[in-house]
Chains A and B, each alone.
Chain A
Amino acid sequence: MKKIDETRLKNIVGEHNIKTDPSDLYIYGSDSSVHHAMPWAIVRPETTRQVQDIMRYANQDMIPVTARGGGSGMCGQTVPIQGGIILDMKRMNKILEINLKDVYCRVEPGVVDDDLNLALKPYGVFYPPTPASSRIATIGGEIANNASGVRSVKYGATRDAVLGMQVVLANGDLVHLGARTRVEASGYQLHKLMVGSEGTLGIVVEATLSFVPIPEFRCMGVANFDSLKDAGDAIGSIMAAGAVPSMLELVDSVAIKAVNKTMNLGLKEVAAALIFEADGMVQEAVDYEINKMKAICKQHNGQDIYASYDPKEREKIFMGRKKLFPALSKYDDNLASTALADDMAVPYSKMAEMAEKIHEIADRHHIVMTAYGHCGSGCMHTKILMDTRRKDQWDDAKQAITEVYDYVRSVNGTTSAEHGIGLSKAASFKLEKSDSLTLLASIKKAIDPHNILNPGKLSQAPENWVTATNLRYSVNS
């Protein structure tokens, strides 16, 4: 381990913005993933100049730097596998401008997603990517991972909402990427490259984001299904029919049971349910979309189909979905919910097969897996529920995940739809992108020649995620 020049860092950010005590380092060594690794220092910049000075120092001494937002990443993106500095961006938390005339806002990377939407709400507009973790996730983290969420089926992911950004490069240089315009064709769209780069290409210090009007009408519906296949087929049919849902979510029986147990929502415990929503400025247009989705659900043997404009009813349905991830840890007192193989995407026509495949693989490997997600955008979430103390369960989980990803790639799906790659998904990512890995490495080398920006992630990540870092669980041998 290299020695950190604490004095130099304190001179840059002030004594109150650095921590090196082992008990603090331990806390910052994990996120919402299964991984843990110790950083050497936590440094908290408050200005772009400070970020530049930190990067100049790190580049000169070749010290790894991992930027961190809310620490809600699920694949170990901010777990510092090679140690170094954790750059905690939460103090760069200013909303700099809300420009209604030009339809953009400028924010620092530490602004929390929900806070931005609270600030935009009085103007009748919202920032749409909205991952389920929006109460903690920062805009910087969302950019790093190209976050998306329940409404991305209509409004797109983070990449679609980012117009431009200021980025501090590995050598400390500040660059302005993109523009403050809706479209840009001026050369490479480097700001789009930064989105989803997981902190491996630069540190975002300011972002220009677009927003959209809050719709006047929102109607949410639910349909229950006795088979997962019927629900999956309904998703494919809805999208193929040209419907425009603002949300199209699948929850399976495992997910329904978990939400009922935790939140007492009284959802009917069926094989699967679809939650669908349409929104717009004209009620007739919303009705048209909702009726279309209701009819398709019925064609696929959907039951108990109903829809409501009532905000309280919508909130009840939506909160259940939003809190599903933490609720899964209540499914069984002996099983912990682990963020593994958690956000693959497959073509719509494969959605039903994918959902069934997940359960079949889980049964074969004696673990519990759930199938849910933003299926309208092709994204299927799973969580693996297992006894994390048992080593054999980790072996089972690893085998199950390998099989799930093998299936995803075999049907031209993708390893990650919205959480990123980090450490946990590197093996499948490398197989999926095998013919472009050299290209990715060339880009990384050109922008970060000393490989100090979040090293050991994406294509550099170890292929065996179980042994890549310490696991954050106590595992008996």
Chain B
Amino acid sequence: MEKKTKDFKHLEKWQSTLANCIRCGYCFEHCPMFKHTSWESDAPRAKIITAFGLLSGEVEPSESAADKMFSCFFCGRCEAACSSGVPLTEIFIDAKKDLVEMGLKGPGTTSTTELNCARCLICVGSCPHDARFYDGKGIATDPTKCQSCGICLDVCPAGAAKIKNDFGTNSDNLIERAATFLDTHESAKAIIFACNWSYYPELQASLLPESETRDKGYEILVNMCGGRLGAHLLMAPFLHNAWGVMAAVCPDGDCRHDGNLRAKKVIETLRNTFKSIDINPERIQLVQIPAGDKTLFQAEIDTFIDTLNQLGPIR
């Protein structure tokens, strides 16, 4: 299987590393894109296969191939789980650099800017990856730097920052899913936001019988990065009679987008607001969960539900 490779000067150095990926697929369960679509072509392994195909000349550098390489929220859980030690996100970034030079820019999950942008530059200052900049006409994104954390979406006052291929992480989508759960489950009490899939304690890719989920008291929604937990998203479940909301984020220093720090500030503000209107602030909580610690996450959820049971519904 040897063909003439195209000019992938950044990707080329990974040739032997790509052979080290034994394609076990153990990365699937951590990937938000695979979780959302259950298409293998959205999983991290697929990007490694695509990178190999681009290098070997078996995959044409097309828009669809580029869209796959540009779709990643850079939670880094795939490479943390990879016992073959393949540095997946570094490979993705180098593939993106080569594709951009060929005129292919995704967008995949890269953030874009709509025409209603007011050029206030808030997103430029807030981007933890220095990916957004003013190009003389408007706000642009460097697709090789953008790590799709979505913080720009949350800070944009005009709603002009977008991630078009959001894979279910869009806040409107999350609000709708929270509302559906709370409106259709009699025992529903809480919405739990988790910043990634690595510590998600429930079934990963399968569905339980309806009889098993009928009496569920809470729903876990994965939002990809605590930096996207704006006040409107956290408050929305209360409009559907939630007793409480909990957000789980990475421990201090573990988030590659520093989104956990932002989440801390937002939740602290909301807790103060709750106090000022005589609502127990324990109804909204932030917990820090290390990658992969499903046991701790479940314990935190159980404690939170116990707290809510003592508090009862908001009257």
Contact = CB atoms under 8 A, between A and B. Distances in A.
A94 B203 CA distance: 11
A135 B204 contact: yes
Interface string B37-80: 01111000010011011011011101011001000000000000
A13 to B, nearest CB: 13
A326 B68 CA distance: 24
B85 interface: yes
B29 A22 contact: no
A26 B84 contact: no
Interface string B4-38: 00000000000110011111111011000000001
Contact of A119 (B53, B60, B83, B212): B212
A473 to B, nearest CB: 5
Given A21-B64, A24-B64, A112 B206 contact: yes
Given A135-B29, A388-B19, A474-B2, A97 B209 contact: yes
Give chain B's interface secondary structure class.
loop
Interface in A440-473: 470-473
Given A36-B1, A90-B38, A93-B206, A327 B83 contact: yes
Interface in A103-127: 107, 110-112, 114-116, 118-119
Interface in A13-28: 19, 21-24, 26-28
Nearest to B210: A94
Contacts of A330: 20, 83-85
A98 B22 contact: no
A133 B205 contact: no
B82 interface: yes
Contact of B24 (A90, A111, A325, A333): A325
Contacts of A116: 206
Interface in B115-135: none
B207 interface: yes
B56 A474 contact: yes
A473 B164 CA distance: 34
B111 to A, nearest CB: 23
B1 A471 contact: yes
B209 A95 contact: yes
Contacts of A94: 206-207, 209
A407 to B, nearest CB: 25
B176 interface: no
B22 to A, nearest CB: 5
Nearest to A470: B1
A111 B207 CA distance: 8
B28 A70 contact: yes
B59 A26 contact: yes
A343 to B, nearest CB: 15
B26 A136 contact: yes
A78 to B, nearest CB: 11
Contact of A136 (B25, B55, B84, B207): B25
A234 B2 CA distance: 46
B208 interface: yes
Given A30-B23, A323-B83, A95 B207 contact: yes
A253 to B, nearest CB: 19
B202 interface: yes
A88 interface: yes
Interface stretch (A179-187, A300-308, A334-342, A357-365): A334-342
A475 B1 contact: yes
Nearest to B201: A118
Contact of A389 (B16, B68, B82, B205): B16
A19 B206 contact: no
A477 interface: yes
24 contacts: A19-B39, A21-B62, A23-B50, A23-B64, A23-B65, A27-B40, A32-B24, A44-B39, A93-B206, A95-B208, A112-B203, A119-B203, A135-B204, A262-B84, A325-B24, A326-B26, A327-B84, A329-B85, A337-B20, A339-B22, A389-B19, A472-B23, A473-B19, A475-B1
Interface of B: 1-2, 15-16, 19-26, 28-29, 38-41, 46, 49-50, 52-53, 55-56, 58-60, 62, 64-65, 68, 82-85, 202-209, 212
Shortest 4 CB-CB distances between A and B: which pairs? A115-B206, A23-B65, A326-B83, A329-B84
Given A23-B62, A94-B206, A95-B207, 15 more contacts: A24-B39, A24-B64, A27-B50, A28-B41, A71-B40, A88-B40, A90-B205, A95-B206, A95-B208, A96-B209, A323-B26, A325-B24, A474-B1, A474-B2, A476-B2
